[in-house]
Amino acid sequence: MASSTIPNVSLTFNCQTFVDNKPPLPNYLSFSSSKRPRPPCLFTVRASDTDFEAAVVAGNVPEAPPVPPIPSAPAGTPVVPSLPIQRRPRRNRRSPVLRSAFQETSEEDTPIGAMPGCYRLGWRHGLVEEVAKARDVGVNSVVLFPKIPDALKSPTGDEAYNENGLVPRTIRLLKDKYPDLIIYTDVALDPYSSDGHDGIVREDGVIMNDETVHQLCKQAVAQARAGADVVSPSDMMDGRVGAMRLALDAEGFQHVSIMSYTAKYASSFYGPFREALDSNPRFGDKKTYQMNPANYREALTEMREDESEGADILLVKPGLPYLDIIRLLRDNSPLPIAAYQVSGEYSMIKAGGALKMIDEEKVMMESLLCLRRAGADIILTYFALQAARSLCGEKR
């Protein structure tokens, strides 16, 4: 579809690719991207099952870039305690890329069977090359999602805050190559948990809320220290946004934004992505902490809590089946609204196009336009590069 089809629409597309690595290509990453205002992209980080790759993910890589120091203030700057401010609108204004995002106008690839066109990419070369392709068509943001070996998983997910782990090293790698790249990170324990849940699981199967939030705060700080621009708690634990804001501020990261998964529903549309990451819970489901798809007013409760706790961006997931929730948040909050077009939405359009039942490109662009019309300022989608190229007038 030509770019003129959606004039003056600032979309953020989130394309997702995945990384696959064997020595000498350590670790795995997947990522999605964004288009014109250039907000988030999605990255999925995956490592293999071998002890060698587990060691790499754990940080045994001699050439890993060092953690950058926190910049010092000019001489004579008064030493004062951090102000108790939860809402800091300047966080969304601190760079041209972020300002444009929220403007109110205007080595070896492995295919993923359930997500045609998506791949696991090599940690270094495959990832860097994919980011370069995204930047060429105006996509300058990525969201990282890790996939690590079982050897590094534990009931409490301690690998989540390893400052020389896969995600922090990936952040430093990308920031070293592309300093102006906007990096969003996922904050949740499920990639690191031996139980596969977003939180710590008690012996009786109950997800422990407050203990999980403690771990998530350490994870967010580790990501911010590595250079993340926006941390994105997707766990749906109560109170995690406020606790995370306090933890970040206490460590000097007042400038790091929080994109909260405000209305994340316990949806069946996540299936292809969980297959890609092998991230299904080992038992039960996630209905005790993700929202009931039947609920509408509950999204307002989550929105008000996240706003009061200091969230900078509110996200709705999935996207197209929840246009009413996107509009609800848009009409009731001044904050930027993000919509996540999830793997099930992507795969249905791909399957329909492959069977010649629909025009894939037209349906893709229409679905993104609908998310924008409903009120989304940012759109995370696995169609990021394809949509961006279409808007740029390029052939696929």
- The per-residue pLDDT of the chain, averaged, comes to 82
What DSSP line would sit under 263-297, residue for residue? Answer: EEB--GGGHHHHHHHT---SSS-STTTSBPTT-ST
- Nearest-angstrom CA–CA distance, 179 and 65: 14
Q: Is the peptide bond before 24 cis (omega within 30 degrees of 0)?
A: yes
Beta-carbon contacts of 73 under 8 Å, excluding residues fewer than 6 positions away, are none
- Give the lowest-confidence range in 12-26, 191-205, 214-228: 12-26
Q: Does 77 map to a domain?
A: no
Q: Does 69 map to a domain?
A: no
Nearest to 263 by CA among 201, 368, 209, 342: 342
| Residue in this structure with the two tokens 């989550």, named with its chain if needed | 302
> pLDDT value at position 12?
40
State which H helix or E strand residue 17 sits in.
strand 16-18
Alpha carbons within 13 angstroms on the beta-carbon side of residue 376 total 32
- Nearest-angstrom CA–CA distance, 111 and 118: 6
Q: Give 103-132 pLDDT, tens digit per residue.
A: 654 456 667 777 878 766 666 678 888 899
Q: Give 335-355 pLDDT, tens digit per residue.
A: 999 999 998 999 999 999 999
Nearest to 101 by CA among 396, 380, 362: 380
Task: Give residue 182's domain range.
Answer: 3-60+87-391
CA angle 74, 87, 228 (to 5 degrees): 60
Q: Does 68 map to a domain?
A: no
The residues that are catalytic are: 264, 317
Provide the residue type at 167 as one letter. V
- Nearest-angstrom CA–CA distance, 385 and 240: 32
Q: What is the pTM of this model?
A: 0.77
Q: Does 155 map to a domain?
A: yes
Judge whether 232 and 258 are in contact, CB under 8 Å: yes
Q: Does 164 map to a domain?
A: yes
Q: Which of the 8 DSSP states describes residue 185?
A: E
Instruction: List own/partner pairs for 243-247 with CB under 8 A and 24 or more apart.
Output: 243/213, 243/214, 243/216, 243/217, 244/187, 244/213, 244/216, 244/217, 244/220, 245/86, 245/309, 245/310, 246/217, 247/217, 247/218, 247/220, 247/221
- Residue 260 phi/psi, 5° resolution? -85, 135
2 is written with which tokens?
């030509």
Q: Does 79 map to a domain?
A: no
Name the domain count of the chain.
1
Higher pLDDT, 149 or 51: 149
Judge whether 34 and 41 are in contact, CB under 8 Å: yes
Judge whether 194 and 135 are in contact, CB under 8 Å: no
Residue 286: pLDDT band with limits 50, 70, 90: confident
Q: Does 71 map to a domain?
A: no
Q: Does 75 map to a domain?
A: no
310: left (phi over 0), alpha (psi -120 to 50) or beta: left
The answer, yes or no, to whether residue 26 has pLDDT greater than 90, is no
Q: Give 231-260 pLDDT, tens digit per residue.
A: 999 999 999 999 999 999 999 999 999 999
Give the CATH number for residue 45.
3.20.20.70
